[in-house]
């Protein structure tokens, strides 16, 4: 397939906007990494009118997909973890073209996993974990066990990815293979949920208790990024927090995350008088010395 695709990627490599070309071939009979395609051709560009442009090709009984991805979109995927296949592609694909060692430096950056990048990824993942856990707990208390089961499965996935980030690694498609090695306790919880002979309510009760402990022990690290951002000024309205450039990445999970941190004493409420004597604005703040304590 590579021979067939060569004219296509050579043409793309000749464009001054192209930063790199990576070829990814299917490793298993049915490969989720390549979305069932035999070959993926990843073209990385400096900029583009379209963040992602895709074409499909076929030759005899083979099929291939070409994805042209802008550097901005690539960075967004890597930061938010919304396309975990991209990590596999960069790490395990064959570099067919590399302008000014862009791909080589990108691989080095991913292996080094800068602490700042890790902090924001951990924060985003932790906020997702909090939402799914709290919503699942409500379903459990209402005895809606199937909905609770769905939420606890999701929360365990977020917990697994969080553990991977804590260990200075990137979350790959096969995240549970990673977690089985680096955090066997979390893997055991997941295994227990799926394979236990206990009734579903007993399984869920055990999982929520165990998850609560694991979440509590990770709150300091999971909240480090948002607390550092909030310590940059005295008070924040909720709208200011939503509009802050880095906190935008928390999206719909931001308010639930903030309320969780208020409940745990990491974020404090400042009441400011409105025109009405009985209604107050609700502002949020982080004490400077407290933020430093949490960051130790």
Query: What is the residue extent of each domain of the chain?
Result: 2-112, 115-220, 225-295
Domain spanning 2-112, CATH class? alpha beta
Q: What is the pLDDT of residue 287?
A: 80
% of the chain surpassing 70 pLDDT: 95
Per-residue confidence band for 172, with pLDDT thresholds at 50, 70 and 90: confident
Domain spanning 115-220, CATH class? mainly alpha
| Rounded Cα gap, residues 41 and 192, in angstroms | 39
Per-residue confidence band for 80, with pLDDT thresholds at 50, 70 and 90: confident
Nearest Cα residue to 266 out of 237, 292, 236: 292
Over residues 21-33, mean pLDDT: 79
For the cut 70, the answer to whether the pLDDT of residue 45 exceeds it is yes
For the cut 60, the answer to whether the pLDDT of residue 66 exceeds it is yes
Compare 96 and 168 and report the one with higher pLDDT.
96
Domain spanning 225-295, CATH class? mainly alpha
| Rounded Cα gap, residues 128 and 203, in angstroms | 22
């Amino acid at each position: 397939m590579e021979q067939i695709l060569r004219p296509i990627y050579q043409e793309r490599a000749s464009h001054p906007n192209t930063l790199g070309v990576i070829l990814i071939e299917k490793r298993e009979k049915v490969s989720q990494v390549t979305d069932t395609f035999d070959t993926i051709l990843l073209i990385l560009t400096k900029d583009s009118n379209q963040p992602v442009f895709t074409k499909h090709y076929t030759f005899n009984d083979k099929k291939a997909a070409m994805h042209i991805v802008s550097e901005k979109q690539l960075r967004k995927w890597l930061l938010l973890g919304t396309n975990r296949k991209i990590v596999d592609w960069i790490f395990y694909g064959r570099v067919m073209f590399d302008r000014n060692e862009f791909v080589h430096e990108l691989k080095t950056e991913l292996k080094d996993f800068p602490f700042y990048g890790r902090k924001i990824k951990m924060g985003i993942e932790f906020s997702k974990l909090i939402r799914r856990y709290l919503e699942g707990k409500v379903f459990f208390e209402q005895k809606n066990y199937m909905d609770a089961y769905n939420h606890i499965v999701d929360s365990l996935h977020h917990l697994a990815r969080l553990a991977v980030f804590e260990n200075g690694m990137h979350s790959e498609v096969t995240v549970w293979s990673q977690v089985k090695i680096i955090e066997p306790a979390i893997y055991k919880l997941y295994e227990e949920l799926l394979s236990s002979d206990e009734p579903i309510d007993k399984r869920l009760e055990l999982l929520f208790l165990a998850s609560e402990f694991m979440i509590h022990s990770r709150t300091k690290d999971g909240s480090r990024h948002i607390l550092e951002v909030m310590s940059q000024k005295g008070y924040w309205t909720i709208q200011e927090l939503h509009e802050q450039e880095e906190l935008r990445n928390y999206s719909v999970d931001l308010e639930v995350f903030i309320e969780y941190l208020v409940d745990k004493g990491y974020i404090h409420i400042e009441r400011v008088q409105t025109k009405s004597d009985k209604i107050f604005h609700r502002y949020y703040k982080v004490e400077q010395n407290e933020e430093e304590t949490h960051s130790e």
